[in-house]
Structure 1
Amino acid sequence: MKVTIVGSGYVGLVTGACLAEQGNNVFCLDLDPKKIEILNSGGVPIYEPGLKEMIDRNRAAGRLQFSTDIAASVAHGDIQFIAVGTPPDEDGSADLQYVVAAARNIGRHMTTPKVIVDKSTVPVGTADKVQAAITEELEKRNLPADLCSVVSNPEFLKEGAAVEDFMRPDRIVIGTENTPAGLRAKEQMRKLYAPFNRHHERTYYMDVKSAELTKYAANAMLATRISFMNELANLADLVGADIEAVRQGIGSDSRIGFGFLYPGTGYGGSCFPKDVSALSKTAKEHGRELKILGAVDAVNEIQKYVLVEKIEKRFGKDLSNMKFALWGLAFKPNTDDMREAPSRVIISELVKRGATIVAHDPVSMPEAKHALELDFQGNPQGLKNVSMVDNPMNALDGADALIIVTEWKAFRSPDFDVVLQKLTRPIIFDGRNLYEPQAMQELGIEYHGIGRHN
């Protein structure tokens, strides 16, 4: 099948590459010429395990191309995926200007029937706006509105495992309207996703608005589990319980399960913070307050400061002349995404208290440098107190303590003899509970986890 992907960012690239992998002829559009230049020269503008190899393979096979040519992109695909950004607006709602602009471009150039697929994470009612924008453009050219049908097909991709998630999905959600054009679109989507349903049916068909709400509901539920466990972990610290024992005790209940029950320094990235806020905003627009989500967001913001509070409790408020090694900058492992990353809060707060930070991350240091430049715009002196090194052990040289913020596999089993040799004080603040408190105590390491108790 011929498919066009509008937007060659995170979702667009993964969607395009994975659909090409199934034998489809895919045209990826982006209006950023620098991004297209990177892609056409063999690079990939984001880090995602397995993605570059898949892109290279399908481009070499002639199934995947990248361009800034809008007219060519519309002419190419019978199915047009809109996978552009929906950044949060000032009031917390999703900014749909790029989605609507993409829809208008399709409406201006299409001459044959098209299935328009909302792949971007968008609030309930967006499909109506996309349909209205395309219809308006079609009417200007005296073309019938039923040339197109808008489908909601939300993505459920975890950064760091997006290729695997797309190729072996838990579920595929497709929302269509019960109209002749909608039924034709449903059949087109059924054919497109047939290879993913070969062993068993993974597709859930529903109306468009239900599909739109499903995406937000899923992310809101996962964010809620994270904030709930962080609250329990903080309580465990106060009462002397071990949150890891609690996690195993409740996770073994089949009604609860173990997923997303790991306490830490709060969630970040491009999805959970934005989607929780956007869903709350949608509810308010309809006269309803989602009180649980308000608490989820508030707890998450507080949690980003938990390690800072532990460090302050141990060393005092004045951290002048103190040096900290920090392992992990990205908001989660296997990505270079620094959006809403807890490391940004932790570094900023420690620098405010006079500390020096030497950081390491296996992938995200270039992105982190850019993010910290933004964070320290009002305090350029702050950047002088932050440096990055290519080896995690080199970050430990002369440091007063080690801070772990992201749970990269490379940090799970370090040579603790070297760690002890390099640190001036044997202290670890573990924001991801990578290590066992009893084992640390036996090594002579003063260990501060999140809700961990010996």
Structure 2
Amino acid sequence: MKLSVIGTGYVGLVSGVCLASKGHDVVCVDVNEEKVRLINDKIPPIHEEGLPELLRSVLDERKFRATSNLNEALDFCEAVIIAVGTPTVDGKIDLTYLVQAARQIGAYLKSTNKFLSVIVKSTVLPTTTDVVVRQAITDACGGNISQFGLGMNPEFLREGNAISDFNFPDRIVLGFEDSKTREVLSKIYEPWHVDKVYVNTRTAEMIKYANNCLLALQISAANELANLAATLGGIDFMDVFRGVTLDKRWNPVRTDGYRTEPEILTYLVPGPGFGGSCFPKDVQAIRTQGQDNGLPMEILEGVLSVNEKQPEQVTKILEAHFGNLKGKNILLLGLAFKPETDDVRESASIRISEGLLAQNTNLVAHDPIATENFIKFSGVQTSAIRFIHDWRAEVANADAIVVATRWEEYKALPGLKVAGKVVFDTRRLLSPRDFPNSTYFSIGRRV
């Protein structure tokens, strides 16, 4: 099919490139001329594993291109996918870019007799597609609702794994408000042989939010219990974790006698809290929608409250150990909210660094690829932090090393001169056994 995708962020660009790799002809649209130039020059404006190679391939095959001309893209396509940002501002979702895109589509339709299926891929609250987007297009096109159909196709892409997640999904959710758009969605995803869930657009929207809220709930629940274990002492929460997850309802036994070890169990490993572009804003947005509709949303309030405070555990535990952190040399390893991405949005390292700076520590920080974004976008007083390229050389000068992101290269830490130092492994990347001559801390462990 001929498809246009509005937006070239993580969702838009990855979706467009992956759809092109499956044989569709795709045009991605962005108002940023520099991003359009970079994309057409085979340079992704975002960091994502496997994206440079796939972008180069679909451009070479002439299955994909980028443009800043929306009307040209709409002339070209049979269906348009909206994948613009929907940030959360003061706890509420901001639909500015989405409504703007819908109005532009409506204005285009007013000048033509063409029918378009408009498919929302941005993460939006239930009632957005069938009410907000419908109204914006209708108003702009002059009221001819027969010219467009509506669909909602939520993404389940993890940064750092987005290409793999798109090309090898475990399910595809296809929301639609009319039979033509249902047929379009079926045709778009015909190359994928996985479970496909056909529902109305409100249900599709709710599936995305329910998915992320339940995962965030697991993280905060595990962290709260881990904090209690550390407060009581004599408990390592990873021993608790193992005992709990041997329950076959969490971890079924296969016919060969081995456990399935599902990936969802990793959301029960305690740490400094969740971050990134999805969990924090999605939980906040659905919480606020519930409150606006007269529901207190008490569990989601708790999820957010625990997560907001969780990074404070690092400073609290280090302060309890040293007595006074003033003048201590702290090496912070990892600034991105997770490995394999340069995204620092809502990263736990933001609040960890703020807490350490407030205690007048000498803070040194490293990340393989996210340092520039941390300086630009974190909001932290980064002039007070010394950023380095060679973290291994800095270990000898540190009083404490804090591992905040699960980058593979930090697994080299046990082989360096860490004797007599404090190692705070917030992500359980390593093991206490790796540091027999060091003081090892982690979330949920005081033994």
- The TM-score bracket by the shorter chain reads over 0.9
Amino acid at match of 1:237: A
Partners in 2 of 1:371 and 1:132 — Cα distance? 34
The number of residue pairs the alignment matches comes to: 429
Partners in 2 of 1:417 and 1:16 — Cα distance? 43
Residue 164 of structure 1 pairs with residue 160 of structure 2: no
Match of 1:115 in 2: 117
How big is each residue's C-alpha offset from its partner over 1:309-363, in whole Å with a ceiling of 9 and x where there is no partner?
A: 111111234x332211111110111111100101011112211211111111112
How big is each residue's C-alpha offset from its partner over 1:264-312, in whole Å with a ceiling of 9 and x where there is no partner?
A: 0000011000000000111112111111100000000110111111111
Match of 2:260 in 1: none
Partners in 2 of 1:334 and 1:220 — Cα distance? 23
Q: What displacement does 1:123 show? A: 0.6
Percent of residue pairs identical: 36
Among residues 303, 306, 309, which one is paired with 2:310 in the alignment? Answer: 303
Residue 420 of structure 1 pairs with residue 424 of structure 2: no
Residue 399 of structure 1 pairs with residue 398 of structure 2: yes
Match of 2:367 in 1: 361
Match of 2:442 in 1: 449
Q: What displacement does 1:366 show? A: 1.3
Answer whether contact 1:393 1:419 (CA < 8 A) is retained: no
| C-alpha RMSD of matched pairs (Å) | 1.5
Among residues 179, 182, 201, which one is paired with 1:183 in the alignment? Answer: 179
Answer whether contact 1:327 1:361 (CA < 8 A) is retained: yes
Answer whether contact 1:329 1:406 (CA < 8 A) is retained: yes
Q: Secondary structure at the match of 2:142?
A: helix
Partners in 1 of 2:83 and 2:163 — Cα distance? 16
Q: What displacement does 1:114 show? A: 0.8
Sort the Cα spacing of 1:21 and 1:417 in 2 relative to 1 into closer, same or farther, 3 A.
Answer: closer
Partners in 1 of 2:394 and 2:173 — Cα distance? 45
Partners in 1 of 2:357 and 2:417 — Cα distance? 23
Match of 2:254 in 1: none
Amino acid at match of 1:327: L
Partners in 2 of 1:259 and 1:78 — Cα distance? 41
Sort the Cα spacing of 1:58 and 1:315 in 2 relative to 1 into closer, same or farther, 3 A.
Answer: same
Match of 2:133 in 1: 130
Amino acid at match of 2:123: T
How big is each residue's C-alpha offset from its partner over 1:65-86, in whole Å with a ceiling of 9 and x where there is no partner?
A: 1111111121122111100000
Match of 2:257 in 1: none
Among residues 373, 380, 397, which one is paired with 1:375 in the alignment? Answer: 380
Amino acid at match of 1:137: A
Moved over 4 A (4+): none
Equivalent runs, 1:9-20 vs 2, <5 Å? 9-20=9-20
**Unaligned segments of structure 2, at least 5 residues:** 252-264
Answer whether contact 2:236 2:446 (CA < 8 A) is retained: yes
Among residues 183, 199, 207, which one is paired with 1:214 in the alignment? Answer: 207
Q: What displacement does 1:371 show? A: 2.6
TM-score, normalising length: structure 1: 0.91
Partners in 2 of 1:64 and 1:109 — Cα distance? 22
Match of 1:27 in 2: 27
Partners in 2 of 1:406 and 1:100 — Cα distance? 36
Match of 1:48 in 2: 48
Residue 245 of structure 1 pairs with residue 239 of structure 2: yes
Residue 263 of structure 1 pairs with residue 270 of structure 2: yes
Partners in 2 of 1:9 and 1:341 — Cα distance? 18
**Unaligned segments of structure 1, at least 5 residues:** 377-382
